[in-house]
Structure formats: structure tokens, C-alpha cells
Amino acid sequence: MKTIKTDIPGVLLIEPKVFGDDRGWFVETWQQERYAEHGMPGSFVQDNQAFSQRGVLRGLHLQHPHGQGKLVQVISGEVFDVAVDVRRGSPYFGRWVGANLSGENKHQFYVPEGFAHGYCVLSEEALFSYKCTDNYHPETQFSIRWNDPDLGIEWPLTENPILSDKDRDAPYLRDLPEDMLPPYLDK
């Protein structure tokens, strides 16, 4: 497996080894010791899947408290996936990184705790899968506006994305009370 560091420390793009022949292919998508060697936590407690159509944009979501690190991948289709640093006091606060994930490239993206996460579907349909470091706590989850001009995310599909009401009406990052955001813990 190849791990690529992004412009924000802790956010990683993972290119797993794919073993293929005329019968098909095999890829290891999680192995605790190997992934820990590359900087990912050793403990995931929940797996999720989401199915969406072209133009769906989900996010930007996070939980605080009960932050979730996420190891995300696309089983079929293609998405543009984004991680935004929203840790108050972080030298990277408000910066984002993105990656194209697809069933074809089999790349994974690790989004640490303290980051808002979102993605938009580029293919006709996409099956999205992710592992989480903490359970879902709906009472602590909230959204940040997907098109916040202060963040300047360069979404590939920005005309009339299909949004949930919660995501459409989400506040801008600057309008959130500071105590809603997770603290930056320099490690």
C-alpha cells in the first residue's frame, strides 16, 4: 500500500495494492497493524455505506464532541471527497483537501477527527463506504455550508447539487459559536 500525505497533516490518501488476474481482483481495505504504521488509528467502531446518484452532495458534516475519524472509499462509481480542518486553533483552520475516489482507482481517504467531511457524486451512481473511530451521535452532529465562500472548496459539480434540507440550510463556518468546534490538539 502507498500512503500519500496531503497539504494538511493527518489527512491521508491511501492507494492499496490491488492484486488482479483474468479472474478479477483482490484488495485489502483494512489491516490494523499495517494501517497503524501509516498513521491511522487502530480502532474503528462502526462501518457505514451510502448510495447516491449523480449530483448528490453530502456535507460538510462533523460531530463534536464524539469526533469521528473516517476511512472512506468508493465501492462503485466516483466521488470527489473533501476534508476541511475546523479545529479551533489549528494552523490549518479553514483549509481543505480533496481527492477523487472511485471503484476503479480503489483509493481511500483518511479524514481525522476534527475535520468536516463531505463529498459529491460524479458518476451516475456511487456506493460509498466508510469506517468510523466513534459511533454516530446524532445529537452532536452538525453541518457547515458546502459552498462557504471562506472555505473556497472547488467542487467539480456546483450547479444545482442535490442537497438535504440540513445541508442546504447549514451555517457558514464563521457563524458557528467557537465552542461548537473541536479544539486543535498539537501531537
Residue 98 to residue 117: CA distance in whole angstroms = 10
CB 65 within 8 A of CB 114: no
* Each residue's pLDDT expressed in tens, for the chain with a length of 187 residues: 899 999 999 999 999 888 988 998 888 888 888 888 888 877 899 999 999 999 999 999 999 999 999 999 999 999 999 999 999 999 999 999 999 999 999 999 999 999 999 999 999 999 999 999 999 999 999 999 999 999 999 999 768 899 999 999 999 999 999 999 999 987 5
Three cell numbers, residue 128: 460509498
Residue 48 to residue 40: CA distance in whole angstroms = 18
pLDDT at residue 97, rounded to an integer: 98
Residue from 61, 64, 107, 117 carrying the catalytic annotation: 61
- 96-102/78-85 β-pairing: antiparallel
**173 phi, psi to nearest 5 deg:** -55, -45
Verify whether residue 130 is a known catalytic residue. yes
Residue 187 to residue 181: CA distance in whole angstroms = 18
CB 66 within 8 A of CB 134: yes
Verify whether residue 61 is a known catalytic residue. yes
One of 3.40.50.2300, 3.40.30.10, 3.10.129.10, 2.60.120.10 is the CATH number of 43-173, namely: 2.60.120.10
Q: In what order do the strands lie in the sheet with 96-102?
A: 96-102, 78-85, 115-121, 57-63, 141-143
pLDDT at residue 38, rounded to an integer: 86
The set of residues, in sequence order, having a beta carbon less than 8 Å from that of 57 and lying 6+ positions away, is 118, 119, 120, 121, 146, 155, 157, 161, 162, 163, 167
Q: What is the pLDDT of residues 48-76, one digit of tens each?
A: 999 999 999 999 999 999 999 999 999 99
What residue segments make up the domains of the chain, in order of their start? 43-173
Residue type, 92: Y
Three cell numbers, residue 164: 438535504
Distances (CA, A) of 131 to 46, 49, 60, 158: 6, 9, 17, 27
pLDDT at residue 179, rounded to an integer: 92
Residue 34 to residue 16: CA distance in whole angstroms = 11
**175 phi, psi to nearest 5 deg:** -95, -5
Residue from 35, 92, 110, 130 carrying the catalytic annotation: 130
pLDDT at residue 18, rounded to an integer: 87
